[in-house]
Amino acid sequence: MIVDILTLFPEMFTGPLTSSILKRAQERDLIVFNLFNIRDFSTNKHHTVDDTPYGGGAGMVIGPEPVFGAVEHVLALRGPMPSRVLLMCPQGRPFDQALAADLAQEKHLVIICGHYEGIDERVREQLVTDEISIGDYVLTGGELPAMVVADAVARLIPGVLGEDTSSEEESFSAGLLEYPQYTRPREYRSLMVPEVLLSGHHEEIRKWRRRQSLMRTLACRPELLAQTKLEPEDKIIIKKILIDLRGLDLG
């Protein structure tokens, strides 16, 4: 996969793209990240990219010219390769694991990072295939959302993670939160690792993990259960959990 990121602040990506999993993925030629400074595509002598909004209002708006120039440049570089152009913006589709998995199937992504009060509407109308939001809060620009999308998508590309099952067992991949994880030592400050994880009985471990995953989702993100295709075994586990909860003495 090739990911072309269009930004006014390419230096912000240096750490995330040269560390940990994203670094290893690039070293294995599983994904390529390219950074393009939108300012380089400005044609005025001062290389400015923003201007005051028509109709008045606070702040500055990134003009269409440098963004059109940047997007058309990277699309020309990739030739006939199918591309999706993503705009990080508040009104976009909420980013989740399903969207990450969808994007991970692509060969080429272009990510536009907005800034200031936003980007000229003609960019959205003519160039953008997907508008994406990572949450209902205000950030300074689209760089941090772009990093989130890049990381989540890269993890789902075959071969990026150490084990093929790693991404499938993580939180949200199956629509549920992940089960609790433990490592050495077996006892720490009188806190013990659950005995079932030390038993060596793989089926019992699987059942324990599934129950814990369902319990955690029910307690922390119950709305996810309504969006998840539950197995008959899951429904039995949830019923038992609810019965146990009803039996608690909360007085």
The CATH number of whichever domain residue 41 belongs to comes to: 3.40.1280.10
Q: Does 159 map to a domain?
A: no
Same domain, 145 and 203: no
Same domain, 22 and 110: yes
Same domain, 141 and 196: no
Same domain, 82 and 147: yes
pLDDT at 170: 59
Same domain, 191 and 150: no
Q: Does 164 map to a domain?
A: no
Tell whether the model's pLDDT for residue 164 goes beyond 60.
no
Quote the domain boundaries for residue 47: 2-154
Q: How far apart are CA 86 and CA 109, in angstroms?
A: 7
Tell whether the model's pLDDT for residue 4 goes beyond 90.
yes
pTM listed for this prediction:
0.87
Provide the 3-class DSSP secondary structure of residue 191.
Answer: strand
Report residue 35 as tokens: 């950074």
**How confident is the model over 97-112, as a mean pLDDT?**
98
Quote the mean pLDDT of the chain.
93
In terms of C-beta distances under 8 Å and separation of at least 24 residues, what long-range contacts does 155-162 make, across chains too?
155/21, 155/100, 156/100, 156/101, 156/104, 157/1, 157/25, 157/30, 157/31, 157/104, 158/30, 159/28, 159/30, 160/21, 160/24, 160/25, 160/28, 160/30, 160/31, 161/21
pLDDT tier for residue 246 given thresholds of 50, 70 and 90: confident
Neighbour count for residue 55 (Cβ, 10 Å): 5
Q: Does 240 map to a domain?
A: yes
Same domain, 139 and 57: yes
